[in-house]
Amino acid sequence: MLFKHSKPAMFLFVLPLLLIYGIIVIFQLAQGFLMSFAKWDGVNAATFIGLQNYQKLFASPDLWPSIRNSILFSIFLTIYQIGLATFFAYILVNVDIWMKKFFKAAFFVPVLLSATVVAQLFVSIYHGDYGLINKLSEALGSNWCQNWLAEPIKGILAIAFGESWKGMGYHMLIIYAAMRNVPKTYYEAARIDGAGAARQFFALTFPLTSQAIKVCFIMCITFGFRAFEMIFIMTGGGPGNYTSTMSIMMYKAMFSLRNYGLSNAIAMMIVFICVVIMFGIEKATTSTNTDM
Partner 1 sequence: MYTYYVDSDKEIVDYALNSMKKIFPNVTVTPENRTDADGTVLKTRAAVGELPDIFECPTNVLEGFAQSGDIVALDDAMKEMKFSDMVLPSVLENRTNSDGKIYAISALANEPALIYYNKKVFADNGLSEPKNYDEFKNVVKTLSGKGVIPLSLFGQEKWPGLQLFDMAVVASDSRGMAALDTGAAKATDAQFSDAAKKVSELVQMGLIGKGAFNTNASQAFEQFRLGQAAMLVNGSWFFGDAKEYGDNVGYFSYNPFADAGKEDAIQYTLSGGMMSPGGYAVNAHGKNLNVAVMYMLYFNIERAKAKTILNGAVSALKEDVQPQTARYASYQQFADSVSKVKSYTQYDWGLNNAEIKTALEDGVEMLLAGSYNANAFIKGLDAQVSAAAK
C-beta closer to partner 1: residue 207 or 238: 238
Total H helices, total E strands in the chain: 15, 2
Structure letter (DSSP) for residue 5: T
- 127 touches partner 1 (CB under 8 A): yes
Structure letter (DSSP) for residue 39: E
| Among positions 145, 190, 271, 281, the unique one binding partner 1 when judged by CB under 8 A | 145
| Among positions 128, 191, 199, 284, the unique one binding partner 1 when judged by CB under 8 A | 128
- 50 touches partner 1 (CB under 8 A): no
- 98 touches partner 1 (CB under 8 A): no
Cβ atoms of 127 and 119 within 8 Å: the answer is: no
Q: Which of residues 148-177 bind partner 1 (CB under 8 A)?
A: 149-150
- 61 touches partner 1 (CB under 8 A): yes
- Rounded CA-CA distance 206/212 in Å is 10
Find all residues with CB under 8 Å of 203, minimum gap 6, and list them: 190, 195
C-beta closer to partner 1: residue 80 or 242: 242
Output the DSSP codes for 17-29.
HHHHHIIIIIIHH
CA distances from 258 to 16, 39, 62, 250, 251 (A): 36, 10, 16, 11, 9
SS3 state at 203: helix
C-beta closer to partner 1: residue 207 or 239: 239
C-beta closer to partner 1: residue 176 or 260: 260
- Give yes or no for a cis peptide into 239 (omega within 30° of 0): yes
Region of 64-72, 195-203, 209-217, 255-263 interacting with partner 1 (CB under 8 A): 255-263
Q: Which of residues 216-235 bind partner 1 (CB under 8 A)?
A: 234-235
| One-letter identity of residue 172 | M
Give least dist CB 205 to partner 1, A: 41
- 242 touches partner 1 (CB under 8 A): yes
- 88 touches partner 1 (CB under 8 A): no
Give least dist CB 225 to partner 1, A: 21
The number of angstroms, rounded, from the C-alpha of 124 to the middle of its chain's C-alpha atoms is 23
- 66 touches partner 1 (CB under 8 A): no
| Among positions 69, 241, 247, 263, the unique one binding partner 1 when judged by CB under 8 A | 241
- 41 touches partner 1 (CB under 8 A): yes
- 236 touches partner 1 (CB under 8 A): yes
In sequence order, the β-bridge partners of residue 48 are 38
- 59 touches partner 1 (CB under 8 A): yes
Output the DSSP codes for 229-249.
HHHHHHTTT-STTTT--HHHH
- Rounded CA-CA distance 183/178 in Å is 11
Burial of 246 (0-12, 13-18, 19+ CB in 10 A): buried
| Among positions 69, 259, 263, 264, the unique one binding partner 1 when judged by CB under 8 A | 259
| Among positions 42, 83, 183, 280, the unique one binding partner 1 when judged by CB under 8 A | 42
Give least dist CB 251 to partner 1, A: 11
C-beta closer to partner 1: residue 70 or 259: 259
Binding site for partner 1 (CB under 8 A): 41-44, 59, 61, 123, 126-131, 134, 145, 147, 149-150, 234-236, 238-242, 252, 255-259
